Amino acid sequence: MALKIVKGSIDRMFDKNLQDLVRGIRNHKEDEAKYISTCIDEIKQELKQDNIAVKANAVCKLTYLQMLGYDVSWAAFNIVEVMSSSKFTYKRIGYLAASQCFHESTDVIMLTTNQIRKDLSSPNQYDTGVALTGLSCFVTPDLARDLANDIMTLMSHTKPYIRKKAVLIMYKVFLKYPESLRPAFPRLKEKLEDPDPGVQSAAVNVICELARRNPKNYLSLAPLFFKLMTSSTNNWVLIKIIKLFGALTPLEPRLGKKLIEPLTNLIHSTSAMSLLYECVNTVYIDVNTPPLPSLSLSLCLYLSLPPQLCVQKLRILIEDSDQNLKYLGLLAMSKILKTHPKSVQSHKDLILQCLDDKDESIRLRALDLLYGMVSKKNLMEIVKKLMLHVDKAEGTTYRDELLTKIIDICSQSNYQYITNFEWYISILVELTRLEGTRHGHLIASQMLDVAIRVKAIRGFAVAQMATLLDNAHLLTGNMQRMGICEVLYAAAWICGEFSEHLENPMQTLEAMLRPKVATLPGHIQAVYVQNAAKLFATVLKSQEGNTDSTAAQETSQLMIDRLPLFVQSANLEVQERASCILQLVKYIQKLQQKDVEVAEEVSALFAGELNPVAPKAQKKVPVPEGLDLDSWINEPPSESESEDEQPKAIFAKEEPKHSRPRREEVDEKELAKRREARKQEQANNPFYIKASPSSQKVYQEAPGVEHIPVVQIDLSVPLKVPGLPMSDQYVKLEEERRQKERAEKKKKEKKKRKEKRSGRGKKHDSGPESEEDITPAHQVDIVTEEMPEWSIITSYIFIKTKSYCVTVHVCSSRPLADSEKLPVRSHRAAEAPKSPTEDGDATSQEPKKKSSKEKREKKKDKDRDRKVRISTGLFLCLLGNHSHLILVSSGLPGINKCIQKSKLVFCFLPLTKVYDIQGNLQDGSQVVVSVIFENKCDSFLKSMEFNVLDSLNSKLQRPEGSGPHDGLTVPFQLPPGVSNEARFVFTVQSIIMPQKLKGTLTFIVKNEDSSTHEKLDFKLHFTCTSYLITTPCYSDAFAKLLESGDLKCSSVRLEGVNMPFHHLLARICFHHHFSVVERIDSCASMYSRSIQGHHVCLLVKTVSIDAKCDEPTLLGNVLDEIKQTFSQC
Amino acid sequence: MMHFMLLFSRQGKLRLQKWYTATAERDKKKMVRELMQIVLARKPKMCSFLEWRDLKIVYKRYASLYFCCAIEEQDNELITLEVIHRFVELLDKYFGSVCELDIIFNFEKAYFILDEFLMGGEIQDTSKKSVLKAIEQADLLQEEDESPRSVLEEMGLA
C-alpha cells in the first residue's frame, strides 16, 4: 500500500502543473487539439489517483481547458471531491472549478449541499468566503432552499468580510427561492445601517436590484435611503441609491419633491461624470419612460427640475472630447427627446455636428436623434445636411445607414413631416446616384408608395421616372451598381400605371424597349414588359384620336419589333408576359389594318384604379368551415420529380402557339363581362372599399387633394443638374410657398382682428411659425376604416381591382354577414337605381299618381314594420366580439330614398395605442368608439350630431360646459359616396358587465333644392370582451399568475362545437382578444387582460373551457360571450 | 447587474470569463465568439459602449487585452468602465505591473481577485485596499497549507 502511494507521488513529480500545460499549449500552436487531447488523457489518469494534491492539480488544469472551450462536464464529480478537501489551497481550486463549470442541470450539485453547509460554518472566514463566492455562481433552487437559513445567519457574522458576501449572495438566493425574501428582509434592512461601508454598499446593491423588479414593496425604505443619499460620499453607492429612487418615485410622487434639492445639488457639484450621468439618466429617463407616462409627467412637474438644466448638462457631455461621454450624452438625449422634444430640438446644431464625428457609433446615435427631431419646419434642412453627408461619406455601410435614415425620417408616420412631395421625389431620385448601395429596393418602394398614395404628385413623379428610364444606362452601366437598378422597377411601373400623365409616352415606350433592358434582372424586365403594354395602350389612345392612322400602326410595329427580344428571355415570367403581349399586339395590328378602332378596348385591359386595403384585412375573412390550411391538397411531390425538370433553354426556344390570339378575344369579352358583374357586386357590397378612399385628413381642408395648387416646375430637369442639386430648388420653393401662406394668414388674421378689435383681447399671436401653421402641399391617403381594432396605422397594401387581378372582398365576422342579409337592404338596393331623381319629385308626383296612393300607404306600413325589426333585432347584436357594426337605416318613412343607402359602420376601440398617438392620457376607464360614417345616398349629409343616452356606468365624454343630454357634433360633412371616421370617448366606471347604450344620430339631408332633418336610432353594445386587450404573456409569468391564488375559477362547456381545435383557438383569439400562451395537443392556455388590468386566463380543451380571473363577474360574462360566439357557428 | 465579464487578447484568444447568470455552455461559446468579433472590429477611436442583443456592452482595451462587460439596460456604463479600471488596478497591484502573460499563467489568481472584487455581478467592495487585503490573507493561508509539507511527508512516509 505504502509502495503504491510512493509510486503515485513519484509519478506526480513528473506531472504537468498548470504552467506546464499553458506553456505546452503555446508551444503546440499547430496541433493544439491533438496536444490537448493527450493532456486530457493525462488528466483522466491523474483524477483516478487517490492523492488530493494530484486531483486538485488536474482540476485546475481542467478549469483552464474549460475556458478554452473544451467540455469538462465529465469531471464534475472530481471537482466535488476537490471542493471537499480540508485544505484551503485545494478547496479554493475546487470551488473555482465548480463556479466555472457547474450549472443548474449539473446533477452532482445535489451532492454538494452538506459540504457547502460545512464550509459556510467553518471557523476559517476564507473557507466560508470561497464557499459563498462559488455558490453565487451555481446556486440552484434546491441549494437556495436548503442553505437559505445558513446564509441568513452569516448576514450577522462578526466579520464584515463574511457579512458583505452573505448579503450579496442573498440576492441570488431570493431569485432562486423567493420564499426566503420575507424572513430575510428585516435583516437585510438592518444591513443598510451596518457600520462597515462594504456591507452597507452590498445591502444597497441588493435592495436596489430587488426594487427594480418590484418597487412597491420597498417604498417604506425611502426615508432610510434618503438619509443615506444625503450622508454618503461614495459615488458607487450614490449611483445605486439614485437608481433606486428612480424606481420608487413613480409610485410615490411626493418623493419627487423631496429629491429636488439633493439631486440638483449633486448635478451641480459632482465631478464624477458617472454620477452626473446617473442623475440625469434616472431622473429624466428611467422615470419618464412608459409604462407610467402620465405619472412620470407629474413627477417631472414635482421635480420641477427644468429639463433645460438636464439638457444643458448633456450638452456638456456631448461637447466633451471623450468619445464615451459624447456617446452617452447622445444616448440620454434621445431618451429625453421622447418626453421633452422641444428642449432637445434647440440643440440641433450640436447634433448635426456629431454627424461629422470620426466615430461611427456616435454618428449613428446622432442619426437616431435626428429621426426624432424632425418637424415640418426643419425636415428639408435636416435632409439637406444629410444629403451632404451622403456625398462625403466613406464606406458603404455608413452611407447605406444614412440612406435608410433619410428615408425613415421622411416617411415616418405616414409622411407626416413632408410638406412638399416634389421635393421628396427629387431627393429619392438624387439618392439613386449613390454608388454601390444595397438599398435600391428601399428607394423603389418609397417611389411606388408616394406615387400611389399622393395623387397630386403623380404627374411630377411620372415625369421624373420617365427621365430615370431614359437615363437607365447611368444606373446600370456599372456592374457594382446592380443594387440600384431596383429603382428602375419602380420607375417602369409608375410610368406604366400612370401613363396618362406622361408628356411624351412614345419616348418612354421606346426607352423601355431598348435592347439593353435585357441585361436587367428578370423581375425588372417582367415589369418593363407589362408596363410597356400599358404605355402602348395609352399611346394608341392618343394616336387614334388623330386622323393619321399610320402613327398608331407604327407604334404597334415598334412593339412587334422589340418584344421578341423578351420572348427569348430565359426568365419564365418575362418570357410568358412578352409572348402574351406580343400576340396581343399582333392581333391589334391586324385590326388596325382593317381600320378598326381598338384603343378603347386595349386600354380597358388596364382600366381600374388602385384602392387601399388595410394590411390586416385578410384577417377579417373568416376561415371557411372545414378548411384546414395545414393539410396537403396534393401529396407533396417526391424528390425525384424535381430533378426531371426540363432545362430552361427548351422553354426559351419554344415558339408561341398560333391559337392564342383567338383565345385572347374570348378572354376579352369574358373579362369585360366578369368585370361588369364584379362592379355590380362591389356596388352592393358594403364591405368593399370604394375607389375614393376616405380619410380624416382629406376633409380637414375642404378643397381636397386635387384642388391644391401645385407649383409649376420645369419638367425637363436632367438627371444631374450642374451646380445646384435638384432638391435644393424645392427647399427654396417651399420657403416661398410657406411665406405666401403666412402672408395670407396674416391678412386673414388682420381681418379677424379688425372685426374683433372692439371685442376681447388678442387670441392669436403671430409670433414664429408653429408646426400646425405649415400646411402640406400634398395629402397622403391614409386608410382607417378597415383597420382592425387597436392596430396602429403602419403600412398599407394596395390591391388593384383590375381585370387580371384578384379582387379581395373584405368581409367582417359573422354578425356582419347577418346584417347584410337584411331584407331591407336587398329590397332597397334593387329599387335604388331606377329612382335617382324620384327623391326631389316625390311631392309633385303624388297628385298625379293617385291610383298608386294605396300602394304607397302599404309601403309605408312595411317600412314601419322594418323599423321595428331593425331597432329590436339588428341593433342589438352590435360591437363586442366583432369589431364592426353596420347600421342600415331604412325604415324611416319619408326619407327612405335618401338614407336607404346610408350606412354607418361602428368599430370599437378600447383605449389603446391609438390613443397614445394622440397624446391623451392612458386611462383604464376610457373607451374609444370609433364610428365610420359612410354616406351611400346621392345627397349631401351635414350637421350630424351624435348623441348617446348616458347610463350610470357609461358616459359619453362631452366637451366642458355642455349638458348631459347634448349631442356631439360630428366634425365633418359627408358628400355623397364618401365615408369618414369620428371617435367618441366614453367613460366607463365598471367593466365587469356588458352594457347597451341607446343613441341617436341626427343630421340634415341636403338635396339640390331641399333639405330635411333626419334622425337615426341605434344602440351601442359594449360587451365585456370589448374591454379585453390582447396581451402576450409568457408561460412562466402565466404559471405564476395561476399559482398566486388571487384568481377565481369558473368553467363552461362548449357543446356541439365541432371544428378543428386550432380554429377554435383562432376564434377565441380573434373574437375575444386572447393570446395563446402555450398549446399542448388539444389543450391550450390563453391569456388576456382587461383595460383595468384584470387578468383573464383560460384553459381551453376541445369540449370545455376552464377559466380564471380576479373578477368573477367579468369572467362569467366573458365566458357567456365566448359561448355565444360558438353557439352561432 | 453585470451578466458576464470577458478578457480576451487582440488575437481573439479568451483569457478569462466570468458569468454571473446561468447560461448554457453552447450559448456561452456563441456569445463569446460573436462579441469578440464585434469588439475586435471596432476602431481604436470609437467609444467603449455598444448595444448588443438586449444588453449593453462596455469594453476597454489595456495593452493587448480587451476587458469586456455585459450589463443590463438600466445599468450605468460609466460606472462599469470604472469597474473595469478598478479590476485592472487590482491586477496591477497584485502582479506588479501586470501583463497578459501574468493572467495566462496565473489565471486562477486572476479569478480569485475578480471574485473578491465582484460577486454575483455586483461590486463587493468599493475599497481597493480591503480587496487586496483579503486576497493577501487568503494567499497566506494557502502558503501555510503548503509550507509545512516536506517531500517525505507528501509521500506518506513521514
> Residue A799: what pLDDT?
37
Distance in Å, alpha carbon of B132 to nearest chain A alpha carbon: 12
Which of A165, A278, A327 shows the shortest C-beta gap to B119? A165
Distance in Å, alpha carbon of B79 to nearest chain A alpha carbon: 6
pLDDT tens per residue, range A542-565: 887 776 678 888 888 989 998 998
- Kindly state the average pLDDT of the residues A811-832: 33
Contacts A362 to B, Cβ<8 Å: 46-47
Q: Determine the Cα–Cα distance for residues A434 and A391; give it in Å rounded to an integer.
A: 8
In this predicted structure, the answer to whether residue A319 has a pLDDT above a threshold of 80 is yes
Contacts A360 to B, Cβ<8 Å: 43, 46
Superfamily of the domain at A905-1022: Immunoglobulins (2.60.40.10)
Q: Are strands B2-9 and B49-52 parallel, antiparallel or unpaired?
A: unpaired
Contacts B126 to A, Cβ<8 Å: 197-198, 201, 234, 236-237
> Residue A878: what pLDDT?
30
Q: Determine the Cα–Cα distance for residues B112 and B138; give it in Å rounded to an integer.
A: 9
Output the CA angle A459-A460-A465, nearest 5 degrees.
100
In this predicted structure, the answer to whether residue A296 has a pLDDT above a threshold of 70 is no
More confident residue, A6 or A943: A943
* CB-based contact B25 A87, cutoff 8 Å: no
Which of A618-627, A744-753, A823-832 has the weakest average pLDDT? A823-832
Which of A260-274, A303-317, A691-705, B53-67 has the weakest average pLDDT? A691-705
Residue A661, C-beta contacts closer than 8 angstroms, at least 6 positions apart: A583, A584, A586, A587
DSSP string covering B102-150 = HHHHTHHHHHHHHHHHEETTEES-S-HHHHHHHHHHHHHHHHHHHTT--
> Residue A674: what pLDDT?
72
In this predicted structure, the answer to whether residue A1003 has a pLDDT above a threshold of 70 is yes
> Residue B111: what pLDDT?
92
Distance in Å, alpha carbon of A153 to nearest chain B alpha carbon: 19
For domain A1028-1127, give the CATH number.
Answer: 3.30.310.10
Write the CA distances from A1000 to A806, A899, A967, A1005, integer angstroms: 39, 15, 9, 15
pTM, rounded to two decimals: 0.58
Distance in Å, alpha carbon of B10 to nearest chain A alpha carbon: 16
Which of A127-136, A1034-1043, B15-24, B32-41 has the weakest average pLDDT? A1034-1043
Closest CA to B83 of B58, B46, B108: B58
In this predicted structure, the answer to whether residue A402 has a pLDDT above a threshold of 90 is no
pLDDT tens per residue, range A1095-1110: 888 888 877 888 888 8
> Residue A107: what pLDDT?
84
Q: Which set of grid coordinates corresponds to residue A744? A: 395670407
pLDDT tens per residue, range A156-166: 999 999 999 99
> Residue B83: what pLDDT?
92
Using the Cβ of B145 and the Cβ atoms of chain A, whether some distance falls under 8 Å is answered with: yes
Percentage of the residues of chain A whose pLDDT score is greater than 70: 71
Residue A594, classed as helix, strand or coil, is coil
* CB-based contact B74 A327, cutoff 8 Å: no
Q: Determine the Cα–Cα distance for residues A578 and A562; give it in Å rounded to an integer.
A: 10
Please count the residue pairs, one from chain A and one from chain B, whose beta carbons lie less than 8 angstroms apart. Answer: 161
* CB-based contact A327 B47, cutoff 8 Å: yes
Using the Cβ of B73 and the Cβ atoms of chain A, whether some distance falls under 8 Å is answered with: no
> Residue A693: what pLDDT?
40
A1064-1067 LR contacts (CB < 8 Å, sep 24+): A1064/A1100, A1064/A1102, A1064/A1126, A1065/A1100, A1066/A623, A1067/A1125, A1067/A1126, A1067/A1129
* CB-based contact A63 B145, cutoff 8 Å: no
For B1, the closest chain A residue by CA position comes to A209
CA A1112 to chain centre: 34
In this predicted structure, the answer to whether residue A788 has a pLDDT above a threshold of 60 is no
Mean model confidence pLDDT for chain A: 72
- Kindly state the average pLDDT of the residues B68-78: 90
> Residue A924: what pLDDT?
65
Contacts B103 to A, Cβ<8 Å: none
> Residue A823: what pLDDT?
33
* CB-based contact A71 B25, cutoff 8 Å: yes
* CB-based contact A133 B138, cutoff 8 Å: no
- Kindly state the average pLDDT of the residues A146-158: 91
In this predicted structure, the answer to whether residue A712 has a pLDDT above a threshold of 70 is no
Mean model confidence pLDDT for chain B: 86
Distance in Å, alpha carbon of A221 to nearest chain B alpha carbon: 21
- Kindly state the average pLDDT of the residues A272-299: 58
At residue A786 the predicted structure's pLDDT band, cuts being 50, 70 and 90, is: very low
> Residue B4: what pLDDT?
93
- Kindly state the average pLDDT of the residues A307-328: 80
At residue A477 the predicted structure's pLDDT band, cuts being 50, 70 and 90, is: low
* CB-based contact A9 B155, cutoff 8 Å: yes
Which of A397-401, A905-909, A930-934 has the weakest average pLDDT? A905-909
Contacts B78 to A, Cβ<8 Å: 273-274, 277-278, 324, 328
Closest CA to A651 of A582, A583, A567, A586: A567
Distance in Å, alpha carbon of B4 to nearest chain A alpha carbon: 11
* CB-based contact A172 B120, cutoff 8 Å: yes
Distance in Å, alpha carbon of B120 to nearest chain A alpha carbon: 6
Radius of gyration of chain A (CA): 38
Which of A374-383, A581-590, B104-113 has the weakest average pLDDT? A374-383
User: Which helix (H) or strand (E) covers residue A880, if one does?
Assistant: none
CATH 3.30.450.60 fits B2-155, yes or no: yes
- Kindly state the average pLDDT of the residues A7-15: 55
In this predicted structure, the answer to whether residue B90 has a pLDDT above a threshold of 90 is yes
Contacts B146 to A, Cβ<8 Å: 89
